[in-house]
Amino acid sequence: MILSPGALLRVGLLLLLAVVLQLSGLSQLSILPGHIDLVVLAVAAVAYYGGSVSGCATGFAAGFLLDLTSGATMGVSSLVLTAVGYGVGRFREIRDPSHGLLPLAVGAAATGGFVVAFAAVSFMLDVGASVSPLVIRDAIVTTLLNALLALPVFTGARKLLRPVLKVDPLEVRRRRRPPRETGPLGLRGLEV
Under the binding rule (CB under 8 A), the answer on residue 94 touching another protein is: no
How many chain residues bind another protein (CB under 8 A)?
A: 54
Residues 63 and 58: their CA atoms lie apart, in Å, by: 8
Cβ 16 to another protein, closest distance in Å?
Answer: 9
Find all residues with CB under 8 Å of 75, minimum gap 6, and list them: 63, 67
Under the binding rule (CB under 8 A), the answer on residue 141 touching another protein is: no
Under the binding rule (CB under 8 A), the answer on residue 60 touching another protein is: yes
Query: Which of these ranges, 6-14, 42-50, 76-84, 171-179, lies near another protein under the rule CB under 8 A?
Result: 76-84
**DSSP state at residue 171:** H
Residues 133 and 131: their CA atoms lie apart, in Å, by: 7
For another protein, give the closer residue by CB, 132 or 182: 132
Under the binding rule (CB under 8 A), the answer on residue 71 touching another protein is: yes
Cβ 180 to another protein, closest distance in Å?
Answer: 28
DSSP calls for 53-74: HHHHHHHHHHHHHHHHHHTPPT
Under the binding rule (CB under 8 A), the answer on residue 59 touching another protein is: yes
Under the binding rule (CB under 8 A), the answer on residue 3 touching another protein is: no
The answer to whether residues 65 and 20 touch, using CB atoms and an 8 Å cutoff, is no
Which has the closest alpha carbon to 15: 70, 75, 60? Answer: 60
User: Exposed, middle or buried, 121 (CB in 10 Å: 0-12/13-18/19+)?
Assistant: middle
Under the binding rule (CB under 8 A), the answer on residue 37 touching another protein is: yes
Under the binding rule (CB under 8 A), the answer on residue 155 touching another protein is: no
Find all residues with CB under 8 Å of 156, minimum gap 6, and list them: 45
For another protein, give the closer residue by CB, 70 or 98: 70
Q: What is the binding site for another protein (CB under 8 A)?
A: 20-31, 35, 37, 39, 52-53, 56-57, 59-60, 63-64, 66-76, 78-79, 82-83, 86, 115, 118-119, 122, 125, 127-135, 138
